[in-house]
C-alpha cells in the first residue's frame, strides 16, 4: 500500500511551475490586456491625476456649517450608536452615507470613501476617454473628460452626489452605442448594478436617478438583452442587500429603509421647495438647454431600441431637475454640471458647435450659480488641499485627533452652553433643537436622535407621525432638550411647527426648567395632556385676518385646509408646491403644505415652555396667503 509521499505528484498536477512557464504566463499579460482593451498606464495615470486635481470630497468635521453637515454628524452618531436605518431613523442618506460625506471622527470611513470614489472616478474617466478617443482623437477626448472633472470640483456638498449621475449618463450612452472599451463594456451591467445598490444606501436620490438610466441602456442595447438585464438586476439587488448587511443593518429591515426613503423623497418638494429672488435667469438658460439636449440625444444614433434609453434618461434627468430646482439655491449647479459634460461629449460625437456652445454656457451658469463666477470657482489648489487633508486624517491618528480637538474647541466657543445645563443633564439622554446637533458630542453628553434626524426633516405626515411616536415613548425619548431661544428657523419657519405633531407631543411632556439669553433647557415630565375638544371652524379668504378662539383649558391648535386648484396640485406633485404663509399677529411664518392639516400650536398663554424670543405663544389673530378652512381645537392640560 503506497503512502501519500509515494504518490506521483505529476499525476496530481502538482509539479512546480518552471521559470520558463511563469515567464510565458506573465508575458501573455500585455496580450490579454490588449484583447480586453485595457487602458494604458498613461491613460490611467492622467485619469487619476484629473480625479485628484479636481477633488471635491471633503472629510467633514463636526464644526462645519449647519444643514447637511449637521446631518452628516447625526448620521455618523446614529450608525455608531447602532440605530437601524430601517426602523429607527429615516433620511435620504443611508448607512453608506460616508461614501458621500465621510466624517473625520472615523478614519476608516474616510479611507473607504476616498478609495472607492478615486477608483470609480478614475475608471469612469479612463473608459470615457477611450470611447471618445476612437471617434474624435485623444486630445479632444481629454478635453471632454477634463471639463467633466473641472465641473465636478464646484458643486454643492460633495462630488459624489452630482458626478455619479454625470458619469452614468455618459457611460450609458457609449454602452448603448457599443463604443465602450471591452473591459468597461463587459463590466457595465454588473458594475452599474452594484453602483445603484451602493448609491441607494449612500444618498437614496442618487440611486433613484441612476437606476432608470442604466436600465434603459441595458434594455436598449442590441444583443444579449436578457443576459445584461439579469446581470444588472441581480447585481443591483445583491448589492443593495449585501451592502446593507455589511453596514451592520438588520437583514429584514432593508424594505423599511426603502419605504421611508421614498417617503422622504416624496415630501421634499412640498416641505423644502424654495425660490430665491434673482434666480430666474437660471430657468431662462435651463429650459432651452434641456430642449437642445433632448433633440441632440434623440437624433444621436443609439440602436433600434434607443427609445428605452431615452425614456430612462428622461426619468433620471427629471429627478435631477427636481433635485436642482425644487430647492432653487446653489443646488441648480448640479444640473448645469451634468449638462456641461454631457453637452460636450455629444458635441464632439456630432461635431456640433451648437452643443459645444451649450456646454460652455452650462459651465458658466454652474460657476455663477455656485461660486459667483468661473475664476472664483476653479481652484485646483483647494481640491489638492482637500484631498491632502483627508488623506492625512487616514494616515495619522494624531492629525485626526488635532482636527477633532480644534473642532471641539471651536464649537465650545460658539455654543457656550451654561455649565449648569451640562451638570444637570449628566448622563441622561438629550437632544438639541432646532439646530446645533453637535452640542451633545461637543460636551460629551449622551445624544438621542430624532428619527428624521432634523426637526424640519419630517417632510410628510408619515414622517411627522413617526417622530411623534418616538417622543411619546418614555423608553426612547430623551430626558432633556436643549432648545435655542429663537422664533425663526429654516426658511423663516416657526420652530414650534417643525414638526407639528412632535412639538405638540413635546408641549405635553416637557417643561422649561432653565434658560439663559440663548438656550432653554426642557425636562421630560409625565404627560399633562388630555382629550382634544373642538373650538370651531372658520372659512378664511386670502390674507383675511380671523380671530383665534380662546380657551383656559389648554393648548389651542389649528388645522389648516388651504384651497388648491387641480393645476396647483399637479404642479406640487410634478415639481414644487406654492409657498404657504401663516401670519401670527403680523409675524409671518412659512408652513409646509404637507403639515397644513396637522395640529399646529397657535396659542398657549402663560405656558413658559412655549415662550420663544421673550414672547408667549398668545396669538390673537391669524392670516394666510391661501384661502381655505381653519379648524380650531384645544388640547386639554392638567
Looking at residue 598, which CATH number applies to its domain? 2.60.120
- Indicate whether 121 belongs to any domain: yes
Residues 185, 264: one domain?
yes
pLDDT at residue 115 in the model: 98
Higher-confidence residue: 171 or 30?
A: 171
Confidence at 631, pLDDT banded by 50, 70, 90: very high
Residue 451 domain boundaries: 417-524
What are the cell numbers at 327? 430647492
- Indicate whether 117 belongs to any domain: yes
Task: Please identify, among 325, 355, 382, the residue that sits at the C-terminal boundary of a domain.
Answer: 382
- Indicate whether 136 belongs to any domain: yes
Distance CA 532, CA 310 (A): 53
Residues 422, 377: one domain?
no
Residues 354, 241: one domain?
yes
Task: Please identify, among 524, 547, 566, the residue that sits at the C-terminal boundary of a domain.
Answer: 524
Answer yes or no: is pLDDT of 69 > 80. no
- Indicate whether 395 belongs to any domain: no
Answer yes or no: is pLDDT of 15 > 50. no
Domain count, the chain: 3
Residues 156, 295: one domain?
yes
- Indicate whether 460 belongs to any domain: yes
Residues 346, 465: one domain?
no
Residues 334, 187: one domain?
yes
SS3 track for 5-39: HHCCHHHHCCCCCCHHHHHHHHHCHHHHHHHCCCC
- Indicate whether 36 belongs to any domain: no
Higher-confidence residue: 568 or 218?
A: 218
Residues 448, 343: one domain?
no
Answer yes or no: is pLDDT of 262 > 70. yes
Kind of pairing between the strands at 446-447 and 429-433: parallel
What is residue 613's three-state secondary structure?
coil
Residues 277, 337: one domain?
yes
Distance CA 502, CA 528 (A): 15
> Does residue 330 contact residue 369 with C-beta atoms inside 8 Å?
yes
For the stretch 317-342, pLDDT in tens is 999 999 899 988 888 999 999 999 99
For the stretch 375-428, pLDDT in tens is 788 899 999 999 999 999 999 999 999 999 999 999 999 999 999 999 999 999
Residues 361, 421: one domain?
no
Answer yes or no: is pLDDT of 47 > 90. yes
Residues 216, 359: one domain?
yes
Please name every residue paired with 90 in a beta bridge, in sequence order, or none if there are none.
none
pLDDT at residue 25 in the model: 53
Confidence at 32, pLDDT banded by 50, 70, 90: low
178 torsion bin: left (phi>0), alpha (psi -120 to 50), beta (else): left
Please tell me the total number of residues recorded for the chain in this structure. Answer: 638
What are the cell numbers at 75? 448620521
Distance CA 196, CA 218 (A): 14
Answer yes or no: is pLDDT of 7 > 80. no
**For the chain, what is the largest distance between any 2 Cα atoms, rounded to a whole number of angstroms?**
106
- Indicate whether 22 belongs to any domain: no
- Indicate whether 29 belongs to any domain: no
The pTM of the full predicted model, rounded to 2 decimals, is 0.91
Task: Please identify, among 477, 498, 524, the residue that sits at the C-terminal boundary of a domain.
Answer: 524
CA 551, 555, 558 angle in degrees (round to 5)? Answer: 90
Residues 113, 206: one domain?
yes
What is residue 152's three-state secondary structure?
helix
Residues 340, 261: one domain?
yes
pLDDT at residue 413 in the model: 95
Residue 104 vs residues 107, 112, 448, 617: alpha-carbon distances, Å: 6, 12, 21, 41
Amino acid at each position: 500500500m503506497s503512502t501519500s509521499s509515494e504518490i506521483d505528484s505529476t499525476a496530481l498536477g502538482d509539479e512546480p511551475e518552471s521559470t520558463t512557464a511563469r515567464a510565458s504566463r506573465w508575458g501573455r499579460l500585455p496580450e490579454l490586456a490588449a484583447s480586453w482593451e485595457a487602458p494604458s498606464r498613461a491613460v490611467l495615470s492622467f485619469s487619476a491625476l484629473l480625479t485628484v486635481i479636481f477633488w471635491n470630497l471633503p472629510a467633514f468635521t463636526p464644526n462645519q456649517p449647519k444643514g447637511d453637515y449637521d446631518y452628516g454628524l447625526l448620521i455618523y452618531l446614529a450608525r455608531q450608536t447602532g440605530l437601524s436605518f430601517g426602523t429607527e431613523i429615516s433620511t435620504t442618506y443611508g448607512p453608506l452615507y460616508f461614501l458621500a460625506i465621510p466624517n473625520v471622527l472615523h478614519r476608516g470611513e474616510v479611507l473607504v470613501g476616498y478609495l472607492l470614489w478615486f477608483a470609480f472616478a478614475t475608471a469612469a474617466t479612463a473608459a470615457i476617454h477611450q470611447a471618445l478617443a476612437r471617434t474624435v482623437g485623444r486630445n479632444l477626448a481629454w478635453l471632454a473628460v477634463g471639463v467633466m472633472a473641472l465641473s465636478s470640483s464646484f458643486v454643492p456638498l460633495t462630488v459624489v452626489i452630482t458626478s455619479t449621475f454625470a458619469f452614468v449618463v455618459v457611460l450609458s450612452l457609449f454602452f448603448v452605442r457599443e463604443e465602450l472599451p471591452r473591459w468597461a463594456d463587459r463590466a457595465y451591467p454588473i458594475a452599474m448594478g452594484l453602483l445603484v445598490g451602493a448609491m441607494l444606501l449612500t444618498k437614496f436620490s442618487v440611486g433613484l436617478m441612476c437606476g432608470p438610466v442604466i436600465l434603459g441602456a441595458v434594455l436598449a442595447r442590441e444583443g444579449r438583452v436578457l443576459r445584461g438585464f439579469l446581470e444588472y438586476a441581480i447585481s443591483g439587488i445583491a448589492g443593495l442587500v449585501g451592502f446593507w448587511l455589511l453596514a451592520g443593518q438588520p437583514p429584514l429591515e432593508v424594505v423599511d429603509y426603502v419605504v421611508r426613503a421614498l417617503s422622504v423623497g416624496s415630501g421634499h418638494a412640498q416641505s423644502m421647495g424654495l425660490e430665491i429672488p434673482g434666480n430666474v435667469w437660471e430657468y431662462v438658460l435651463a429650459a432651452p438647454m434641456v430642449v437642445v439636449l433632448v433633440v441632440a440625444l434623440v437624433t444621436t444614433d443609439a440602436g433600434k431600441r434607443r427609445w428605452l434609453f431615452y425614456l430612462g434618461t428622461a426619468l433620471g434627468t427629471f429627478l435631477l431637475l427636481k433635485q436642482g430646482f425644487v430647492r432653487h439655491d446653489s443646488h441648480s449647479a448640479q444640473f448645469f454640471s451634468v449638462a456641461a459634460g454631457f453637452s460636450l461629449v455629444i458635441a464632439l460625437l456630432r461635431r456640433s458647435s451648437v452643443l459645444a456652445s451649450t456646454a460652455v454656457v452650462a459651465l458658466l451658469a454652474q460657476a455663477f450659480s455656485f461660486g459667483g463666477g468661473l475664476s472664483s470657482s476653479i481652484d485646483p489648489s483647494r481640491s489638492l488641499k482637500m484631498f491632502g487633508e483627508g488623506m492625512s486624517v487616514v494616515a495619522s491618528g494624531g492629525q485626526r485627533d488635532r482636527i477633532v480637538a480644534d473642532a471641539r474647541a471651536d464649537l465650545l466657543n460658539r455654543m457656550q452652553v451654561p455649565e449648569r445645563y451640562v451638570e444637570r443633564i449628566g448622563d441622561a439622554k438629550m437632544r438639541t433643537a432646532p439646530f446645533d446637533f453637535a452640542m451633545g458630542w461637543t460636551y460629551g453628553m449622551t445624544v438621542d436622535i430624532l428619527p428624521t434626524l432634523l426637526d424640519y426633516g419630517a417632510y410628510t405626515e408619515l414622517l411627522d407621525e413617526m417622530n411623534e411616536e418616538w417622543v411619546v415613548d418614555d423608553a426612547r425619548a430623551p430626558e432633556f432638550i436643549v432648545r435655542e431661544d429663537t422664533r425663526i428657523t429654516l426658511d423663516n419657519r416657526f420652530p414650534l411647527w417643525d414638526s407639528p405633531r412632535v412639538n405638540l407631543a413635546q408641549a405635553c411632556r416637557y417643561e422649561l426648567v432653565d434658560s439663559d439669553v440663548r438656550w432653554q433647557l426642557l425636562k421630560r415630565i409625565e404627560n399633562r395632556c388630555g382629550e382634544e375638544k373642538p373650538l370651531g371652524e372658520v372659512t378664511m379668504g386670502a390674507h383675511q385676518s380671523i380671530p383665534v378662539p380662546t380657551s383656559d383649558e389648554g393648548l389651542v391648535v389649528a388645522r389648516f385646509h388651504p384651497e388648491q386648484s387641480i393645476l396647483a396640485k399637479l404642479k406640487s406633485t410634478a415639481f414644487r408646491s406654492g409657498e404657504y404663509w401663516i401670519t401670527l399677529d403680523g409675524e409671518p411664518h412659512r408652513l409646509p403644505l404637507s403639515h397644513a392639516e396637522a395640529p399646529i400650536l397657535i396659542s398657549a398663554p402663560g405656558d413658559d415652555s412655549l415662550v420663544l424670543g421673550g414672547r408667549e405663544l398668545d396669538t390673537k389673530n391669524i392670516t394666510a396667503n391661501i384661502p381655505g378652512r381653519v379648524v380650531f381645537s384645544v388640547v386639554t392640560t392638567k
